[in-house]
Structure 1
Amino acid sequence: MTKQTRSERNKPKKKKTVSKILLKTTLFFLLILVAGGGYVGWQVWSDLQSTTDDMYEGAEDREEHASRQDKPVDVNSGEDAFTVLLMGIDNDGDNVEYGRSDTMMLVTVNPNTEKTSILSIPRDTYTEIVGRGTKDKINHAHAFGKASMAMDSVQNLLDVPVDYYLSVNMESMQQMVDAVGGITVTPPLSFTQGEYQFTEGEPTHMDGEKALAYTRMRKKDPNGDYGRQLRQRQIIEGAMKSVASVDSIVNYRDILGTMGNTMKTNMSFSEMQDLFSNYRGAAKEIEQDQLSGSGTMMNGVYYEIIPDEEISRVQNDLKAELEI
């Protein structure tokens, strides 16, 4: 039975399948291996290994109390529920190791219930930054201590294990969009950003520069940062769908090259393969939720304060989904 969350009651239901983004990325890897065949297949495998080496960035320096010490998640078995912290990093270069995580979503995947849940976390959420002993906006954790501090801070806020992370640099997503030949997105509202015009409900083909402009706008969106996060998810999903297409096989080197710069993760290539092999069924049912609160000014700085009852609601839902 699918639960109806508070955000689903107030907004039209949208199933933005972030779990499928991860699975389709792996599907692309498998497709080009099969399509290559013989010597070419081995060459592709070598290129894939090189790319995953570039993408891999461990999170071993996490706080001891904050990591899953008792029983590490085992995706090879295909039985463990797990979580992935998806972050869109805001900085001026290609490097995704530093910068604020202006988009944060916690994805939970449960193979036993064949269900995936996506929780959006407001970037201005006022909470403890684990490892610094202070309270601040949750999106500052990544800037202070990279992925490890962001994972620990989200885990501390929600009281559930955060097993993996996937960080994407929105600036370098421009390269990814161009590498896949552009993407088509349907804007949820009409607006102008720079030299580009976007029309509500009208499918729009975008190259990398136009896609970046599409994600940059925030002040003209009646939903503020929530609206911007939706448009960022549209761009990421569109890019990954294109990556997963058979047509992308012909220019896989360009795509892999941009992925090495665009993404960082603590998932190994073998774990990505396990996700595709063992967790495809979990994409059958997708549920979205939004951690929500109210804005306030403290010492001249805007924060989003999440009520205790809202945090408890989300914690209980996540624990039920993770069977803990």
Structure 2
Amino acid sequence: MRVYQKVILGILGILVIGVIGVTVYGMRVYEDTSKTFDQISQTVDRTTTKRKEAVSIEDRDPFSILLLGIDTGALGRTEQGRSDSMMVVTVNPEKKESTILSLDRDIYTQIVGYGTLDKLNHAYAFGGEAMSMDSVENLLDIPIDHYVTINMQGMRDLIDAVGGIEVTNEIDFTLEGVHVPKGTITLDGKTGLAYARMRKQDPEGDIGRQKRQREVVEKILKKVMSLDGVSNYQKILKAVEKNSKTDLTWEDMLDIGTNYIPAFTTINQEQLQGEGQLMNGVYYQLLGINQLLNAQNLLKEQLGLPTNDTLSQGDEYTDGYSDYQLYDDTTGYSDGEETDDAYVDDGSSY
């Protein structure tokens, strides 16, 4: 049990509350939702941002959210933890679409504010939400406007709260005593957690797992926005209250529920991954130059920002990096040797 769980609650944690607040009539729902949001809403003190002016959700500006799945909240874990699941969501009401980009936790990148190159998921361990937002913003060269964190119990609670989700499972497997059969099945919280966690029995490994995580996020979101979600709002609020944090305000939620619903009718799913390589005995994902540039431009288009023909130079991402930082994904690595099948478990795997 680790992380995607939290992720899920993330996009939901945000949207669910906003949708409920404006679509369900009755002061009790409104008051309960507002009260829950007061408990989970926490501002973040950042040292840098690419925004000269904050986006206005009230004015229907496109915006981005960083979803972080934190590996604490269960199994007696109370430490800071790491963000072992990371997704960047861009929301564009004019285009009536959203994009979910999964980031591999092992991406080798600049940890902004810590002064080192390391795995991306270590940014949260070193500096919480602020350092994670700064590091992802630097990596993707886009503004990260808001965050949502979910701890490891979140996904299980939320799946149960919405009455389960239906998936077509392509791999019959058992994970830690939980059997998930092949075929079209309805997952409850227990089996849904296993479905999102399983990695070693998937031929695609962590990439296959991240695809399933995005699938679960999307299906929970749709369920939450349905009548099922509204009728079970108290269970949903309880799951959100116990397991999530965000810097979005209650007023933001109401505006999202009012102005952004069409943006969630089309949800594009993307993946940013590199090539696996061992450095000093530790496994990292090294990103390709074109691969990273394409991901940056995709998100910039969704946010209504100008795209680039090349990676920006002289910033904290590209300046002073070793040959290991990026490779030419049209010709291969510039240095070192690719080791696709090598993996060192440093304790951050599920």
Which TM-score bucket, shorter chain as reference?
0.7 to 0.9
C-alpha spacing 1:88/1:280, structure 2 compared with 1 (3 Å): same
Superposed counterparts of 1:285-304, under 5 Å: 285-304=266-285
Q: Is the 8 A contact 2:50 2:142 kept in 1?
A: no
SS in 2 for 1:203: strand
> 2:232 and 2:300 mapped to 1: Cα distance?
42
SS in 2 for 1:306: strand
Q: Which residue of 2 aligns with 1:135?
A: 117
Q: Which residue of 1 aligns with 2:135?
A: 153
> 1:248 and 1:21 mapped to 2: Cα distance?
12
Superposed counterparts of 1:234-249, under 5 Å: 234-249=215-230
C-alpha spacing 1:253/1:276, structure 2 compared with 1 (3 Å): closer
Offset from partner CA, 1:153-182 (integer Å, 9 cap, x none)? 000111110001122223332222333333
Q: After alignment, is 167-176 or 140-149 more displaced?
A: 167-176
1:193 partner amino acid:
L
State whether structure 2 residue 25 is matched by structure 1 residue 30: no
> 1:96 and 1:112 mapped to 2: Cα distance?
41
C-alpha spacing 1:241/1:314, structure 2 compared with 1 (3 Å): closer
State whether structure 2 residue 40 is matched by structure 1 residue 55: yes
- In the TM superposition, residue 307 of structure 1 has moved relative to its aligned partner by 1.9
How many residues end up aligned between the 2 structures?
296
Q: Is the 8 A contact 1:170 1:212 kept in 2?
A: no
2:46 partner amino acid:
R
> 2:186 and 2:179 mapped to 1: Cα distance?
12
Q: Which residue of 1 aligns with 2:344?
A: none
SS in 1 for 2:104: coil
Q: Which residue of 2 aligns with 1:7?
A: none
Instruction: In structure 1, list runs of 5 or more residues that go unmatched.
Output: 1-15, 35-40
C-alpha spacing 1:230/1:75, structure 2 compared with 1 (3 Å): same
State whether structure 2 residue 177 is matched by structure 1 residue 230: no
SS in 2 for 1:277: helix
> 1:242 and 1:114 mapped to 2: Cα distance?
19
- In the TM superposition, residue 19 of structure 1 has moved relative to its aligned partner by 7.2
Superposed counterparts of 1:142-291, under 5 Å: 142-200=124-182, 202-291=183-272
> 1:176 and 1:284 mapped to 2: Cα distance?
20
Q: Is the 8 A contact 2:57 2:255 kept in 1?
A: yes
- In the TM superposition, residue 189 of structure 1 has moved relative to its aligned partner by 2.3
C-alpha spacing 1:29/1:184, structure 2 compared with 1 (3 Å): farther
Q: Which residue of 1 aligns with 2:96?
A: 114
> 2:55 and 2:115 mapped to 1: Cα distance?
28
> 2:187 and 2:269 mapped to 1: Cα distance?
26
C-alpha spacing 1:243/1:81, structure 2 compared with 1 (3 Å): closer
2:119 partner amino acid:
K
Offset from partner CA, 1:219-247 (integer Å, 9 cap, x none)? 11111112222222333344444433334
Offset from partner CA, 1:22-46 (integer Å, 9 cap, x none)? 54553233333x1xxxxxx222222
> 1:118 and 1:305 mapped to 2: Cα distance?
21
Instruction: In structure 2, list runs of 5 or more residues that go unmatched.
Output: 1-7, 306-350
2:175 partner amino acid:
Q
Identity of paired residues, percent?
A: 43
Offset from partner CA, 1:34-89 (integer Å, 9 cap, x none)? 1xxxxxx2222221111101221211x2123x352x211001011x2211112222
Q: Which residue of 2 aligns with 1:321?
A: 302
Q: Is the 8 A contact 2:137 2:144 kept in 1?
A: yes
1:142 partner amino acid:
Y
> 1:285 and 1:251 mapped to 2: Cα distance?
24
> 1:113 and 1:97 mapped to 2: Cα distance?
41
